[in-house]
Every structure is written in structure tokens, then in C-alpha cells.
Amino acid sequence: MRDLMLGREPKDFDVVTNATPEQVRGLFRRARLVGRRFLIAHVRFGREVIEVTTYRASPGAATSVHSELTDSGRLLRDNVFGSREEDALRRDLTINALYLDVRANEVIDYAGGVEDLNAGLVRVIGDPETRYREDPVRMLRAVRFAARLGFRIETQSAAPIRALADQINEVPAARLFDEVIKLFHGGQALQTFELLRHYGLFSPLFPAAAEMLAEQDDDNLRMLLPGALASTDARVQAGKPVTPAFLFAAALWEPVRRAAKRREEHGMAPIQALQDAGQQIITEQQQFIAVPRRFSIPVREIWDLQPRLEQRHPRRVLPLLEHRRFRAAYDFLVLRSEIGEVDPSLARWWTEIQEDNQEQRVARATELPAGGGGGGGRRRGRRRRRRD
């Protein structure tokens, strides 16, 4: 309803009803119940899955085995059902509590969401501190909708966020992965990043990266990560695919680079140092955001390909172009060249060879020195033979 009123095309619709999840399951043959914290029904129509939620009451409306709060106020379970008005007032934001009665074709607003839409405000329903403690993800959602809609977080709703930011670490790491993807793959990643930093929410999500950001004498991460986020925004807005692997590779690159440098200083070979550092940083990051293996492995491949792209060994150039992570690694190299971490002519060389036909690619690769072509630009010279 929110998007319709703003003249935007909704991505989906939330269906709510006074029927219990069990009753919904009984009505539809292809329905199943999911969730523990919030029990909902998934009803399948062809390839589509319609999420059907029952009206809920406030968590404090009744003492029940269906509602559970921690001592700190975090909501672990919320399956106390209520009326439509009660359901509206327990939602997170006023602009997310608008209902469309499809039979009457009427917008129903119990929380002042229409007024906040017109004013461009993101406002929490109820006492902000209590609502954030119930579910710390609400702080991330406030930021996400502010960035996505170009709204401002209402003053009282914004006030407790900095003090409660560490509550984010109480949220299961697997759930935070889903929330981070929503934050950064909505087309406003750069603005979202700035808001997260402003409210102190970036640090509990990416502590190693935040530590690098806090240092005033090194601007690499300040430039690399925003560049990656701007690139992601451009791809989303152009309807091109994006991958979480690129996001995590950019966010964690500076911690990995520094950890690898320390290992080299203790005598470890550069490639091994990079691989070892990558494993360490990914493992540490998993404590905060559980990155699935289908994405964490590509993250490490993007990092591991960087020295190979820099070396440009003649015999490995063509296989590199066929590597499944080449494009992501190349895009990453371009970002590094833009901040001066590698010679820009190196990125240009890889750009040019992708535009060549196969014969030209072979010629360009064989023109490189036999020991590899660090730096950039085309190098002409006699081909040297080397025994492996």
C-alpha cells in the first residue's frame, strides 16, 4: 500500500486475515506453515507463494506460551492473535501499517501512516526504545526505508538508535545476512551505508571494516567500499544482476589486505598470506553475519584472483579470462585502480583484452614478459622460452 500511494510499483503484497494460520492451511490444499517467531502460512499458486499473516496483538496483550520476551525486551515469539487495529499498532513503522480493504477499495490507517508519507517521515509506532529492544532489526529497517524512499527518520524514532546499536549483535547472524542484502541491494546502497555509519549501525554489522574506517590516516576503504556500493546501485537501477559476494569482498578487503601484509612481514609467501588472511577475516565476520558458503567461497575467489590479475603471466591470461569469477574479480581490480591501489594501466590492459578477438588475445598475452607483466600497458618484446 505504501508504494502504491507513492506512485511506485509494488514488488509484492502482504496478505493479512483474521483466520489463524491453521485455518488458512485448512482452506488451501497447497499451504504450509512456517516460522517459529512469527507463525505464518505460505500458500502456493503455481510458481507463486503468497505469504498470509494473521492479525496479531501487542506482545504484552496477554501472558501466553505464544508470546516470549527476553529480559532485555527482545521478542522471541509473537503468536498472540488480535484485531486488525491491534495488528496495525504492533507493526514497526507507521508507513508500513497501511491496509487496503480490497472489497471496499479503501485505505485503512490506524497509525498516521498517510500523514507521515506526505511529510516524508519514517516513524516508529509506539515507544521507539521499547520497539527497538523487542526487535533490533527495526533500526535497520528504519534506515533502509529512509534511504529507499528519500525520507527522514523522525526525531524521536532516531534518538535511541546510537545507544542501542549494539543490540544488533543479539540478532541471529543468519537473519542479519538477509537484512544486509535488503539494505544494500535495493538500489540505494551508498545512501544506506552513510546512514548506517551516521547512526552507529555499520560497526555491529562489519566490525573489522568499521575499525579501518575509523582510522584517519588511511582512506582506502573510505574510497573502495563507496565505489563498490555506487557500482551496485548502478547495476540495480539498470536491472542487471548483483551478487552479495561483491559486497562482502569490498567491505572486508581492507582488513584482509592488512592481515595479509602482516603475514608477509613474518615471511609468508604473498599468495599464501592473502589466502590465509582471507580465511581468517571471513571466519571472524561469520560471527556477526552468517554468509552462506555459496557466497563466501566467491568472496575468497575474488580476492585470490587479484594477484593473478596483477601478475599477468602469459600462460595464465587466457585461462583467467574463462574463470567463472573473472568478471567480478576484474570489476574489483578496476575499483582498486580507481583508488590508486594498483596501476590504472593494469585495469586498462584487462579492459582492452576483453574487447579483443581470440587471435588478438593470444597476441596480447604472448607479448607479456615470460615472468609476468606486473603494472600496466602493452609490453612489446621478444618472447622468452621458459622450462616449467
> How do residues 61-70 score in pLDDT, each as one tens digit?
544 444 455 5
| Residue 11 placed within a domain | no
Exactly one of 12, 101, 127, 219 is catalytic; which is it? 12
| Residue 112 placed within a domain | no
| Residue 123 placed within a domain | no
- CATH number for the domain spanning 178: value is 1.10.3090.10
pLDDT of residue 75: 52
Has residue 71 got a pLDDT over 90? no
pLDDT of residue 384: 38
* Total domains present in the chain: 1
| Residue 95 placed within a domain | no
Per-residue confidence band for 81, with pLDDT thresholds at 50, 70 and 90: confident
Q: Domain residues for 318? A: 172-388
| Residue 106 placed within a domain | no
pLDDT of residue 223: 77
Higher pLDDT, 300 or 223: 300
pLDDT of residue 7: 66
Least Cα distance to 225 among 244, 251, 187, 207 occurs for: 251
For residues 81 and 55, is the Cβ–Cβ distance under 8 A?
yes
Has residue 138 got a pLDDT over 60? yes
pLDDT of residue 79: 66
Number of C-beta neighbours around residue 61 at 10 A? 14
The alpha carbons of the chain give a radius of gyration, in whole angstroms, of 25
**Residue 178 bears catalytic tag:** no
For residues 270 and 306, is the Cβ–Cβ distance under 8 A?
no
- Average pLDDT over every residue of 30-49: 86
Exactly one of 3, 78, 87, 92 is catalytic; which is it? 92
Residues 6+ apart with CB under 8 A from 238: none
Has residue 380 got a pLDDT over 60? no
For residues 364 and 321, is the Cβ–Cβ distance under 8 A?
no
122 strand-pairing partners: 153
**Residue 92 bears catalytic tag:** yes
Report the run of H or E that residue 31 belongs to, with start and end.
Answer: strand 31-34
Amino acid at site 343: D
- Note the residue count of the chain: 388
For residues 85 and 55, is the Cβ–Cβ distance under 8 A?
no
Average pLDDT, rounded, for the chain: 88
Place of cell 593473478: 308
pLDDT of residue 375: 57
| Residue 115 placed within a domain | no
Give DSSP secondary structure letters for 322-345.
Answer: TSTTHHHHHHHHHHHHHTTSS-HH
Helical residues (DSSP H) of the chain, grouped into ranges = 2-5, 21-27, 84-89, 113-119, 128-134, 137-149, 155-158, 161-164, 173-184, 189-198, 202-205, 207-213, 220-237, 244-265, 270-285, 293-311, 314-321, 326-338, 344-355, 358-366
pLDDT of residue 246: 97
| Residue 5 placed within a domain | no
For residues 311 and 372, is the Cβ–Cβ distance under 8 A?
yes
Task: Return d(Cα 13, Cα 15) in angstroms, integer.
Answer: 6
User: 125-134, 173-182, 240-249, 369-378: lowest mean pLDDT where?
Assistant: 369-378
For residues 368 and 379, is the Cβ–Cβ distance under 8 A?
yes
Please give the angle made by the CA atoms of 45, 51 and 52, to the nearest 5 degrees: 105
pLDDT of residue 102: 81
For residues 278 and 339, is the Cβ–Cβ distance under 8 A?
no
Q: Could you tell me the pTM of the whole model?
A: 0.84
For residues 193 and 140, is the Cβ–Cβ distance under 8 A?
no
Per-residue confidence band for 29, with pLDDT thresholds at 50, 70 and 90: confident
For residues 87 and 61, is the Cβ–Cβ distance under 8 A?
no
Has residue 116 got a pLDDT over 80? yes
- Average pLDDT over every residue of 272-292: 97
Give DSSP secondary structure letters for 155-188.
Answer: HHHHTTHHHHGGGGGGS-HHHHHHHHHHHHSSS-
Exactly one of 3, 14, 276, 304 is catalytic; which is it? 14
For residues 177 and 290, is the Cβ–Cβ distance under 8 A?
yes
Higher pLDDT, 158 or 30: 158
- Average pLDDT over every residue of 332-353: 95
Least Cα distance to 92 among 63, 130, 66 occurs for: 130
Q: What percent of the chain has pLDDT over 90?
A: 70
* Angle in degrees, 0-180, between the axes of helices 220-237 and 189-198, rounded to the nearest 10: 140
**Residue 276 bears catalytic tag:** no
| 143: helix, strand or coil | helix
pLDDT of residue 59: 60
Has residue 344 got a pLDDT over 80? yes
pLDDT of residue 47: 86
pLDDT of residue 78: 59
Per-residue confidence band for 74, with pLDDT thresholds at 50, 70 and 90: low
| Residue 54 placed within a domain | no
